[in-house]
Amino acid sequence: MSRVFNFAAGPGILPLPVLEEVAANLVDYHDQGMSLIEMSHRGAVFSQIIRETKDLLRELLRIPDTHDVLFLQGGGHTQFAMVPLNLLGAAAEASYIVSGIWSKKAAAEAAKFCHVNVIGTPSKSAIPAAESVVVANDAAYLYYCMNETVNGLEFNFVPQCPECVPLVADVSSDFLSRPIDFKRHALVFAGAQKNFGPAGLTVVILRKDLLGLAGDTCPTMLNYQIHAEAASMYNTPPTFAIWVANLVCKWLIQEGGVEVMDERARARSSLIYKVIDQSEGFFVNTIPERHRSRMNVVFTLAESALIDLFIKEADAQGLKNLKGHRSVGGLRASLYNAMPQEGAVKLAQFMQDFMQRHG
Ligand SMILES: *Cc1c(COP(=O)(O)O)cnc(C)c1O
C-alpha cells in the first residue's frame, strides 16, 4: 500500500504504527477470540484500557491530581453547552475571547444560558492583544479556543484572568501537540478526531472542585459530575475510539512526548510559512507571525482562479485534502502530530514548483 499525505483538518491523519496495530488485532484482540469492539465495556480487558489511557494522558500532559480526566461523546459542539451548564453556578455572566469560528460558535451557544461578555472582534478572526483581555471577578469563567482550526490562528500566550475565575480552553485541534499549564487551566476539552484518535471520543480535563456546580435541570448526560463519579462509565463509552487513543498515547510516549511534538510541529509549519512568505504575494497568509497556527496552515492564492488547479495537482501527487474550510475557502494544510516531516517537505516543494509554473 502506498500511503498518501493526508492534510485533512479532522478526522485527520493517525500514526501508521497505530493503524497497523489496530488492523492486526481488530478481529481477534490479543488471542481473546473476539474483537475488542464486541466486548463489554465493563469487562476486564476494556476496563484496563480505559484506566491505562487516563494514566497515559496524565503522564503525557503532566496532569496534576487536582484535575480529573473524562472520556465523553458528542464532540466539541456538546462541550459548547456543557461548559456553561456546568460552570455557571449562580453567576450571570461568562467571558469569551472570540478569535475565530470555533470560539464564536461556543460564545453563541453560551448566550443561551447566560450573558456573554465578548472579548475581541467577532466580525473578523484575530487573537486580541494580551492586555485587552480584561475579566471581571464575578465572571463564571473565561473561555478561549487555543487553536482556531478553520482560521489558522493559535494562541502564543495564556490569557490572564483573576485567580477566582476558572480558565477554560477548547484545545480540540492542538491537543497533545504542546504542554498545557494546568495551574492556569481549570478545564480543557478536545474532540479526539483532530489530533488524538478516531471521531466519537471527547476528552475533558477539569479541576475537581468545579464538579457539582450544575443545576438540577442539567440533563444527566451533560453533567460532568455524573461522568466523573462513574469514571467515564456512566453509560457505554466509545470503546473503539478509546482503544485507538490508548495506542496513540503509547506512540506519543515512544516518540518523546508533547515537547517533541511541539518541536516537530514548529518545523513542519515553518516550512510551509516560509514558502508563503518568500512567494512575493503568490501565496497569501495575513496572520501575524506570532499567532500563526503550528497545526493548521491556512492560506490562499492571490490568483484565486488557480485554487482548484492547485488542489487537483496536489491531489494527483498524493498531497490530499488541502481545500480550505467551506466557510473561508482557499487552502488549508493541517499538520497534526502524525504528519511525517516528509509530508511538509513534499508540500513545500510542490508549492514552489506550482509557483514556478504558474507565477
Ligand atoms: C472541530 C472543532 C470543533 C468541533 O468539533 P466536533 O467534534 O465536530 O463537534 C470545536 N472546536 C475546535 C477548535 C475544532 O477544531
CATH, residue 271: 3.90.1150.10
Domain assignment present for 10: no
Same domain, 223 and 281: no
Domain assignment present for 312: yes
75 lines ligand 1 (CB under 6 A): yes
pLDDT for 99 equals 97
> Among 196, 227, 255, where does a domain finish?
255
Same domain, 233 and 284: no
Same domain, 268 and 251: no
CA dist., res. 302 & res. 234, Å (int): 52
Which residues share a beta bridge with 284? 300
Cell of 313: 495537482
Alpha helices in 88-163 (DSSP H): 101-110
Query: For 93-109, what is each residue's pLDDT tens digit?
Result: 999 999 999 999 999 99
pLDDT for 121 equals 85
Residue with cell 483538518: 9
Same domain, 334 and 265: yes
Arithmetic mean of pLDDT, 242-264: 98
10 lines ligand 1 (CB under 6 A): yes
Asked if residue 212 lies in contact with residue 225, where contact means CB atoms within 8 angstroms, the answer is: yes
| Listed residue (237, 238, 152) closest to 199, CA to CA | 238
Give, in degrees to the nearest 5, the angle at Cα 148 between 145 and 154. Answer: 85
Stated pTM of the model: 0.98
Mean pLDDT score of the chain, rounded to an integer? Answer: 97
308 is catalytic: no
Give, in degrees to the nearest 5, the angle at Cα 225 between 49 and 205. Answer: 55
Q: How far is the CA of 174 from the centre of ligand 1 (A)?
A: 11
CA dist., res. 357 & res. 351, Å (int): 10
Q: How far is the CA of 166 from the centre of ligand 1 (A)?
A: 21
Cα atoms found within 13 Å of the Cα of residue 211, Cβ hemisphere only: 17
pLDDT for 218 equals 96
> Among 233, 255, 277, where does a domain finish?
255
Atom of ligand 1 minimally distant from the CA of 79: 9
Arithmetic mean of pLDDT, 259-287: 98
Domain assignment present for 341: yes
> Among 220, 255, 290, where does a domain finish?
255
| Listed residue (215, 207, 212) closest to 225, CA to CA | 212
Same domain, 236 and 162: yes
**pLDDT exceeds 80 at position 11:** yes
Domain assignment present for 11: no
**pLDDT exceeds 90 at position 359:** no
pLDDT band at 344 (very low <50, low <70, confident <90, very high): very high
Arithmetic mean of pLDDT, 212-216: 94
**pLDDT exceeds 90 at position 122:** no
Same domain, 246 and 327: no
Same domain, 107 and 86: yes
Q: What is the CATH number of the domain that holds 210?
A: 3.40.640.10
Domain assignment present for 160: yes
Atom of ligand 1 minimally distant from the CA of 77: 9
Atom of ligand 1 minimally distant from the CA of 146: 13
Same domain, 248 and 274: no
Same domain, 212 and 350: no
194 lines ligand 1 (CB under 6 A): yes
Q: How far is the CA of 82 from the centre of ligand 1 (A)?
A: 14
41 lines ligand 1 (CB under 6 A): no
**pLDDT exceeds 90 at position 124:** no
Phi/psi at 309 (5° precision): -65, -40
Domain assignment present for 8: no
Angle of helix 16-25 versus helix 239-255 axis, rounded to 10: 140
Atom of ligand 1 minimally distant from the CA of 199: 7
* Among 68, 102, 174, 323, the one annotated catalytic: 102
Same domain, 239 and 274: no
**pLDDT exceeds 80 at position 1:** no
102 is catalytic: yes
Number of domains in the chain: 2
Helix (H/G/I), strand (E/B), else coil: 138 = coil
- Distances in Å between the Cα of 235 and the Cα atoms of 52, 222, 323 are 19, 12, 37
Same domain, 278 and 219: no
pLDDT for 206 equals 98
77 lines ligand 1 (CB under 6 A): yes
CA dist., res. 93 & res. 105, Å (int): 17
Domain assignment present for 180: yes
Same domain, 97 and 240: yes
Residue range of the domain that includes 119? 16-255
Domain assignment present for 2: no
Query: CB-based contacts of 313: which residues, under 8 Å, 6+ apart?
Result: 350, 354
Q: How far is the CA of 80 from the centre of ligand 1 (A)?
A: 10
143 lines ligand 1 (CB under 6 A): no
109 lines ligand 1 (CB under 6 A): no
The radius of gyration of the chain from alpha carbons, rounded to an integer in Å, stands at: 21
Query: For 25-62, what is each residue's pLDDT tens digit?
Result: 999 999 999 999 999 999 999 999 999 999 999 999 99
* Among 54, 170, 174, 250, the one annotated catalytic: 170
